[in-house]
């Protein structure tokens, strides 16, 4: 068994002197050789102290005599010892005895990724799961200041239960983990390799490594891209007849995935971004790469580390439909929806149970519905239905759990309680469902409705507010705000209505119902109060993300807050879809991935599908925008958001009649609201219907005499009419009033401004990432 390793410019080979079976190194007894890596030979051994099998890696004699290699070997041991992560090979010990330098690690059973790839490309889902595990392991390393610098299929090991482990940190570069010695001038030097030395493996090295420049975290991201490319295609990303040819390919060749499935899913874009020649054009952190893989593919973190084959077999899934109002006055609709939503939230916290999202489930509110159709559309195996009846202080809830296949009833029960016992009823129903589905849970995992208040009156006011808020109409939003404020009066320490108010003020400003600056101040105050009560609520960070983006114009802060929201609640589609509002230079893939994930979570939500279309439109994919918006309009033909987004795409595509029809319908449905009138006038002007556009502009001017109308809605019409000075004059007014929409400069209604040099000045003024 011969070993070899390569540092470009220096090649070394050794003839190993194998350790014999039975050889003792400290408390370890060698059993047999099992392989050789670029930095040493590997043996299986027995740990006599802890009575377990381990792997021992030994530095060959020829290299042990070289102090540089010995230092690097020790560095690998320290690097691994600093990490504790399921996707990184665990190190147990490090030692030296009778001239033998060795490390002791966990003993793995399975194959290297290189061995698996000998059979060709991997199934897409498995490839993504492995890449996600690789990203998770590297994220742990990068957090410790460790860069691998030699990631490749032979340095990734797949265990028998499909867990991926990153091996061989022998070329790891320590950035800040270990204290370095000071030079003569007292400056700290953290370099571990000489300048200009090229280290790594040909075919997986980044361009900066090829050039002998400093490698940072983004070099590992390049390697992940190369490995993912190989897993998806079955061939290396960079090939050539010689080492020089391969190095030239890394510097000059742009590999492309040809598999339609990979291209359709967006994986081609992810791989391409990882393999960008310029490090600044890649994902900037491996966590961003992992997030994009996760959201785009639908492979979650827990799922990625589970057994990939058959991962969905036997999985439990449920849709909770809104309960029917059986009360005499038929005035408990808000309570019926709130009851169902609370149970849904409690069940969503159960590992092993997938819960369909609220908006998709609530599409089946009222009337008869075929359970098989519900199951097919929501991809669930069971459906919970129920009814609520209130009379005075008494509450009767009837619930039944039905199987989609066959339509038979699994379980049903009636709960008669005092109205003040509503939380207990919700807990009981959730627990009964778990029992009916025979889910194995620890006590800690038992589903419970989170009690954010003990004040029943405040709770019912909040439910009423949320009910009206979800109607998304101007009058309903105002009514929701009233209920939220009343709930706060009843219990000022109740965080949820504070969050509701923060989101309410933000959305009212977005649609031009209130003055932006005033709404921003109110939204911040409500959010600050909510976070002071509970800083671990996903909804609070979701609201914070919108406030930071639209009111503060703090782009990166807003993005981080929304990501924090998705971490606290990965099942909430709103935070995911709002991450689509960040499609500027270098983040287009993440935006598309986020909205796709939202669609997977809530496929029958017209808002989610409409925003998904809008995000595609931001990137110039107007045909894709139409396709996604049509999904929304198939669900609700009069959905205003879907109408204005698809109308904008039709304008850009030159489908004038369809565009004006959609935009006019949106304006009519919303009572000629200024926001929708602005879109209509812009569409008319862009389509060459100047007289119609000026009539719409006049209507906006008339409205401005009696109600607030953002100057922005008039600015976009002036620009589309070619009246650029008037357009920029109105736009400057809008900026002074802190218009929200300027943070989304790729919105179609800004098309008329883009060719004018003043547009770049405006983007620079707000420090927008798209500014030249």
User: Active-site positions?
Assistant: 150
Half-sphere exposure of 221 (CA within 13 A, CB side): 28
The SS3 of residue 427 is: helix
Cβ neighbours of residue 332 under 8 Å, at least 6 residues apart?
A: 325, 388, 390
Q: Which DSSP letter does residue 73 get?
A: H
What is the dihedral sign for C-alpha 616, 772, 761, 584? positive
Facing residues of 320 across strands? 384
Can you tell me the distance from the alpha carbon of 237 to that of 163, in angstroms, rounded to the nearest whole number? 24
CB atoms within 10 A of CB 194: 9
Can you tell me the distance from the alpha carbon of 662 to that of 667, in angstroms, rounded to the nearest whole number? 9
Nearest by Cα to 19 from 47, 59, 48: 59
- In terms of DSSP H, where are the helices of 690-723? 690-703, 711-720
> Taking the chain, what is the end-to-end CA distance rounded to the nearest angstrom?
57
Q: Is 188 exposed, middle or buried (0-12, 13-18, 19+ CB in 10 A)?
A: exposed
Nearest by Cα to 480 from 445, 434, 526, 439: 526
The SS3 of residue 389 is: strand
Contact 670, 676 (CB under 8 A): yes
Can you tell me the distance from the alpha carbon of 287 to that of 587, in angstroms, rounded to the nearest whole number? 13
Token pair for residue 144? 């410790």
Percentage helix, strand, coil for the chain under 3-state DSSP, each rounded to 5:
50, 15, 35
Cβ neighbours of residue 673 under 8 Å, at least 6 residues apart?
A: 474, 511, 512, 513, 667
Nearest by Cα to 250 from 190, 200, 324, 293: 200
Question: In this structure, what are the phi and psi dihedrals at residue 439, rounded to the nearest 5 degrees?
Answer: -85, 135
Nearest by Cα to 645 from 695, 696, 595, 705: 595
The SS3 of residue 478 is: helix
Q: Which DSSP letter does residue 548 get?
A: I
Token pair for residue 596? 């796709």
Residue the block writes with tokens 């102290």: 49
- In terms of DSSP H, where are the helices of 253-406? 260-265, 267-274, 286-297, 301-304, 333-348, 358-361, 371-378
């Amino acid at each position: 068994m011969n070993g070899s390793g390569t540092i470009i410019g220096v090649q070394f080979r050794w003839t190993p002197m194998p350790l014999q079976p039975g050889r003792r190194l400290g408390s370890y007894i060698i059993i047999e050789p099992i392989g050789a890596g670029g930095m040493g030979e590997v043996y299986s051994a027995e740990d006599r102290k802890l009575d377990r099998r381990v792997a021992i890696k030994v530095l060959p004699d020829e290299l042990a005599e070289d102090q540089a290699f010995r230092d690097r070997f020790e560095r690998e041991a320290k690097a691994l010892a600093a990490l504790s992560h399921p996707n990184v090979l665990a190190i147990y010990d490090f030692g030296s005895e009778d001239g033998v330098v060795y490390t002791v690690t966990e003993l793995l059973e399975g194959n290297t990724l290189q061995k698996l790839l000998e059979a060709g490309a991997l199934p897409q889902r498995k490839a993504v799961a492995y890449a996600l595990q690789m990203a998770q392991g590297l994220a742990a390393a990068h957090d410790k200041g460790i860069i691998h610098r030699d990631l490749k299929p032979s340095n990734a090991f797949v265990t028998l239960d499909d867990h991926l482990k990153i091996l061989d940190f022998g070329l790891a570069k320590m950035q800040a983990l270990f204290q370095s010695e000071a030079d003569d001038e007292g400056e700290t030097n953290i370099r571990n390799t000489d300048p200009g030395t090229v280290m790594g493996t040909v075919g997986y090295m980044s361009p900066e490594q090829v050039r002998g420049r400093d490698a940072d975290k983004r070099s590992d991201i390049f390697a992940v891209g190369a490995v993912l490319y190989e897993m998806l295609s079955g061939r290396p990303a960079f090939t050539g007849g010689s080492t020089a040819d391969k190095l030239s390919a890394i510097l000059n060749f742009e590999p492309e995935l040809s598999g339609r499935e990979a291209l359709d899913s967006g994986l081609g874009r992810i791989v391409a971004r990882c393999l960008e020649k310029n490090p600044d054009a890649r994902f900037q952190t491996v966590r961003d790469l992992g997030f994009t893989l996760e959201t785009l593919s639908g492979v979650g973190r827990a799922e990625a580390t589970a057994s990939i084959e058959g991962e969905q077999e036997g999985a439990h899934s449920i849709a909770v439909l809104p309960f029917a109002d059986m009360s005499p006055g038929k005035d408990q609709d808000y309570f019926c929806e709130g009851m169902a939503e609370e149970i849904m939230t409690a069940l969503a916290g159960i590992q092993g149970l997938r819960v369909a999202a609220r908006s998709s489930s609530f599409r089946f509110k009222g009337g008869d519905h075929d359970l098989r159709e519900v199951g097919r559309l929501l991809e669930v195996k069971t459906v919970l239905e129920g009814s609520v009846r209130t009379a005075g202080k008494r509450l009767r809830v009837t619930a039944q759990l039905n199987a989609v296949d066959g339509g038979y009833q699994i379980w049903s029960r009636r709960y008669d309680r005092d109205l003040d016992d509503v939380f207990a009823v919700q807990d009981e129903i959730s627990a009964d469902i778990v029992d009916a589905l025979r889910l194995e849970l620890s006590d800690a995992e038992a589903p419970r409705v989170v009690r954010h208040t003990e004040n029943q009156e405040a709770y019912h006011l909040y439910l009423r507010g949320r009910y009206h808020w979800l109607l998304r109409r101007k009058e309903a939003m105002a009514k929701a705000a009233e209920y939220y404020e009343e709930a706060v009066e009843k219990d000022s320490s109740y965080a949820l209505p504070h969050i509701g108010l923060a989101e309410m003020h933000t959305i009212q400003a977005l649609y031009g119902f209130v003055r932006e600056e005033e709404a921003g101040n109110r939204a911040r105050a409500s959010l600050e109060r909510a976070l002071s009560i509970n800083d671990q609520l996903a909804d609070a960070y979701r609201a914070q993300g919108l406030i930071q983006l639209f009111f503060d114009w703090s782009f990166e802060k807003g993005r981080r807050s929304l990501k924090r929201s998705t971490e606290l609640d990965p099942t909430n589609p709103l935070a995911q879809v709002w991450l689509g509002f960040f499609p500027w230079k270098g983040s287009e893939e993440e935006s598309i991935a986020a909205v796709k994930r939202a669609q997977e979570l809530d496929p029958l939500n017209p808002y989610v599908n409409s925003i998904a279309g809008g995000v595609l439109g931001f990137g110039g994919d107007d045909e894709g925008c139409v396709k996604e918006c049509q999904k929304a309009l198939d669900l609700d033909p009069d959905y205003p958001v879907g109408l204005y987004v698809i109308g904008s795409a039709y304008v850009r595509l030159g489908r004038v009649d369809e565009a004006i029809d959609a935009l006019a319908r949106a304006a009519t449905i919303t009572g000629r609201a200024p926001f929708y009138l602005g879109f209509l006038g812009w569409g008319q002007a862009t389509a060459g219907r100047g007289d119609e556009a000026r009539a719409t502009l006049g209507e906006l001017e008339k409205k401005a005499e009696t109600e607030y109308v953002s100057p922005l809605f008039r600015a976009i019409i002036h620009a589309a009419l070619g009246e650029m000075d008037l357009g920029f004059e109105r736009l400057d007014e809008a900026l002074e009033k802190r218009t929200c929409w300027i943070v989304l400069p790729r919105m179609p209604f800004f098309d008329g401004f883009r060719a004018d040099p003043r547009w770049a000045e405006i983007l620079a003024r707000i420090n927008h990432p798209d500014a030249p």
